Amino acid sequence: GAGVSQSPRYKVAKRGQDVALRCDPISGHVSLFWYQQALGQGPEFLTYFQNEAQLDKSGLPSDRFFAERPEGSVSTLKIQRTQQEDSAVYLCASSPDLGETQYFGPGTRLLVL
Amino acid sequence: AQSVTQPDIHITVSEGASLELRCNYSYGATPYLFWYVQSPGQGLQLLLKYFSGDTLVQGIKGFEAEFKRSQSSFNLRKPSVHWSDAAEYFCAGSSSYNTDKLIFGTGTRLQVFP
């Protein structure tokens, strides 16, 4: 079956530009997670949802970062007024429910110039 | 603070040789532990996980890992490496009261020579 998909796969933004990154989870998966992976580092937790409810957003680095999942399926991570330090791979994962294995998408590589 | 440490940034082995990738954790209680593999352009794939019970965990692709509480370690092993195992390997942990918030190590890049 189809796995987690993310779009775009690559995004180049000018500093100060707003960007939106999309995640399509595996069909029927209740939980959805966002991670940020800087170059040469492991993924770092940003936020997660159970259905449309955002249960934890403690990892979002600033108020420029915003995530939503309005209908409990597709999620969007929005970054406002991008900065160079936002350059990273943004990974999305989904799981059948909380406490179950997370399945990761291929990521969106964001480069802020 | 909770943390996961992978001491080796880069490891090189010959095809057919045995492999051990190190992972140490720092948690107040016994964490849930995971090993993921990441190939270029691919998402993270779960190799195995430890929640409780038997401390030797078998995973996919012939990998296994052993939980050692006394050493705060969860090392990944494979008896005979294949060229296709070349990838980045990440150890991750989560607490028993927040099992979904994974904390990853910095990764170990495995290179395999023919």
A44-95 pLDDT tens trace: 999 999 999 999 999 999 999 999 999 999 999 999 999 999 999 999 999 9
pLDDT of residue B54: 87
**AA identity, residue B97:** Y
Strand-pairing partners, residue B88, are B38, B109
CA distance A32 to B104: 17
**Residue in chain B nearest A39 by alpha carbon:** B106
CA distance B11 to B61: 19
Residue of B45, B99, B100, B102 for testing the chain A interface, max A β-carbons within 10 Å: B100
A58-65 long-range Cβ contacts below 8 angstroms, 24+ apart: A61/A36
**AA identity, residue A1:** G
> Is any Cβ of chain A less than 8 angstroms from the Cβ of B105?
yes
- The average confidence (pLDDT) of chain A is 95
Q: Retrieve residue A97's tokens.
A: 């429910």
**AA identity, residue B3:** S
> Is any Cβ of chain A less than 8 angstroms from the Cβ of B33?
no
**Residue in chain A nearest B100 by alpha carbon:** A99
CB B90 within 8 A of CB B39: no
What proportion of chain B, given as a percentage, has pLDDT over 90? Answer: 77
Q: Pairing relation of β-strands A108-112 and A10-13?
A: parallel
Q: Is the pLDDT of residue B84 over 90?
A: yes
Q: Is the pLDDT of residue B2 over 90?
A: no
Model pLDDT for residues B15-55, shown as the tens digit of each residue: 999 999 999 999 878 789 999 999 987 789 999 999 888 89
CA distance B71 to B77: 16
Q: Is the pLDDT of residue B79 over 80?
A: yes
> Is any Cβ of chain B less than 8 angstroms from the Cβ of A96?
no
